[in-house]
Chains A and B, each alone.
Chain A
Amino acid sequence: MTSGSKGLYLDDLAMRFGGVQVFEHVTFNIPPERITACIGPNGAGKTTLINAVCGVFRAQSGRVFLDGKSLDGIRPHELVRHGIARTFQDVRIFPYLTVLENVLIAMPNQRGEKLRHLFRPGGGVSTQERRHREDAGALLDAVALTDAANRPAGELPFGRQKLLSLVRAVATGARFLLLDEPVAGVEVELVPRVMALVTKLARVEGRAALLVEHNVDVVREVANQVIVLQGGGIIASGSCDQVLRDERVITEYLGRIYDA
């Protein structure tokens, strides 16, 4: 895999906090149209990995390439424009905006956000806004949030906020979605909807997803490739079957979670 390939390519990433080397020598590619899962025990650095890709913290070494171009120096709000959107483990939806507004705000290229279009008659704002509302409505429907559309998002229970943050990231239209534990806390009956949504994104819309996950069943269902992050590095990677049968993975990671 070279830096000229298509996809979100992490090249020898290393991250250090204080005196702790969280991980190093992390190299893998997130190809488009595929779902990549990253599993590993708590504290292995999975969220830190997403943070490093998004430039939240500066990595000690290594670089990230998007379709061959380095992401160095890109400011946080520019990531979506370049094609990367992420979710947060602790959700971070806009509590005083309604559920629908939380999705609407993520839609890119809104004419209504620019003053020069707002105050020009025939600026096309309401037409576009109507279309966005339809699209947003469809997304809410996909995760069974339609009934809550006009409620302040802060009133929702955690699991539903999780779903909201997922569709909010999807609404950005970014080609690469970095999803941090998208089903943790979500009601069991709704998990299949998440899997269906993510699968559709990849297969139908050609987008890529990186799923940071604990839930091995979900991983087994949807992931095309799996990376196992543990003990400061990648201990296994490959297809689902390969990884989940890997001796090292079973003893050091899977064995533990099935015991728990």
Chain B
Amino acid sequence: MEHLLYIGSLMCVWIIVSVAVNLVIGYGGMMTMGHAAYLGIGAYTAASLNIFLGLDFFSAMAAAAVAGAAVAALTLLPLLRLSGFYFALATLGLNFVFFDLFHNLAPRVEGSEGLHGLKLPAALASADTRFVTTLLITVACILAARHLVGSPFGRLLRATRDRPEAVASVGKNPTACQITIWTVSGALTGLAGALYAATLFYIDPTLFTLNASILMMVYVGVGGLASIAGSILGPVLLIGFTESLRFVGLPSQFLGPAQQGLYGALLIGLMIFRRQGLVGKHDFRE
């Protein structure tokens, strides 16, 4: 039972991340392959503030969201001048840049590779309260994202995705719109990073590599671009499926590779047959 609650909490974390990533890829039209960096920034910010400065975890989460937003904005600004493909390639590079930064500079507990020892409040301390709290936060994020997407800003965002020069011709600033959504996405991802740390009790740099960014792409891609529902469906289906592999009797050493191989096949299948994903409302138009 506790394991199920753990999986549920994990699904919630990845739902928030998928929504955040879909906001920039599906609604904003900006391909990101490096969001794992922001997840890590959120996780490390929250964990460090909580473990080393004794900050209560909810405040640490807020700080994680701010840190995620700040780092996201900072990393975006130099890349704005790049065209679609080179932009994506540069974000891919961010994974590796941040991995070494986490590995070399991020705090760690003596004698281990990562951080543990979070002091969690009652609302997050046991598996069931943690699941409920995480679920509530996830629902709040989903509602906020839906509100954003259905608003005039959401309309402006979609127009920026489709025809940035035409956006300028009606008097709106497409670049400001892109920066805004990317920053919001960074905040959500940072927040998810904090929840991730609380769920796992332990974080280290290997959690925030290209593999994590690929996971995000698969969750969003399978669920569907420009669909909040898709960003819920993707992680739930895929995490659920991978968990069920455990019961099929696969030896544990094959679990990781099997998951990776499956995700690789999914990416290929999506690109050939269904680029808009399961319930997506947008396609990569090239």
A/B touching: CB–CB < 8 A: yes
Q: How distant is the Cα of A133 from the Cα of B163 in the complex, in angstroms?
A: 22
Chain A residues touching B, range: 35 or more
Contacting A at CB under 8 A, from B145-164, are 147-148, 151-153, 155-156, 158-159, 162-163
The interface centre, meaning the residue of A76, A88, A104 with most chain B CB atoms within 10 A of its CB, is: A76
Cβ–Cβ contact B152 & A110, under 8 A: yes
In the assembled complex, B173 has its CB within 8 A of some CB on chain A:
yes
Interface 0/1 of A92-111, CB less than 8 Å to B: 11111100010011101011
Q: How distant is the Cα of A94 from the Cα of B282 in the complex, in angstroms?
A: 14
The interface centre, meaning the residue of A108, A115, A168 with most chain B CB atoms within 10 A of its CB, is: A115
Chain B residues touching A, range: 20 to 34
Q: Is the interface of B mostly helix, strand, loop or mixed?
A: helix
Cβ–Cβ contact A113 & B172, under 8 A: yes
In the assembled complex, A240 has its CB within 8 A of some CB on chain B:
no
Q: Please give me the residue from chain A that is nearest to B161 by CB atom.
A: A96
Among B152, B159, B171, B184, which residue has its beta carbon within 8 angstroms of that of A125?
A: B152
Q: Which residues of B contact A80 (CB under 8 A)?
A: 169-171
In the assembled complex, A81 has its CB within 8 A of some CB on chain B:
yes
Closest chain-B Cβ to A182's Cβ sits at a distance in Å of: 15
Cβ–Cβ contact B148 & A106, under 8 A: no
Cβ–Cβ contact A79 & B171, under 8 A: yes
Cβ–Cβ contact B171 & A108, under 8 A: yes
Closest chain-B Cβ to A37's Cβ sits at a distance in Å of: 21
Cβ–Cβ contact B144 & A129, under 8 A: no
Q: How distant is the Cα of A110 from the Cα of B152 in the complex, in angstroms?
A: 7
Q: Which residues of A contact B155 (CB under 8 A)?
A: 97, 101, 104-105
In the assembled complex, B265 has its CB within 8 A of some CB on chain A:
no
Cβ–Cβ contact B171 & A118, under 8 A: no
Cβ–Cβ contact A77 & B163, under 8 A: no
Q: Which residues of B contact A106 (CB under 8 A)?
A: 170-171
Q: Please give me the residue from chain A that is nearest to B152 by CB atom.
A: A112
Q: How distant is the Cα of A174 from the Cα of B172 in the complex, in angstroms?
A: 13
In the assembled complex, B165 has its CB within 8 A of some CB on chain A:
yes
Q: Which residues of B contact A108 (CB under 8 A)?
A: 171
Cβ–Cβ contact A85 & B171, under 8 A: yes
Cβ–Cβ contact B172 & A77, under 8 A: yes
In the assembled complex, A86 has its CB within 8 A of some CB on chain B:
yes
Cβ–Cβ contact B152 & A96, under 8 A: no
A113/B153 contact (C-beta < 8 A), A77-B171, A85-B171 known: yes
Q: Which residues of B contact A76 (CB under 8 A)?
A: 165, 168-169
A interface residues, Cβ below 8 angstroms from B = 75-81, 85-86, 88, 92-97, 101, 104-106, 108, 110-115, 118-119, 125, 129, 168-169, 171-172, 174
Top-8 shortest CB links A-B? A80-B171, A112-B152, A77-B168, A106-B170, A76-B168, A77-B173, A92-B166, A110-B152
Q: What are 25 residue pairs bridging A and B, where the CB atoms are less than 8 Å apart in the complex?
A: A76-B169, A77-B171, A79-B171, A80-B169, A80-B170, A80-B171, A85-B171, A86-B169, A94-B158, A94-B159, A94-B166, A96-B158, A97-B162, A104-B152, A105-B156, A105-B172, A113-B152, A113-B172, A114-B153, A115-B153, A115-B184, A119-B147, A125-B152, A129-B152, A172-B171
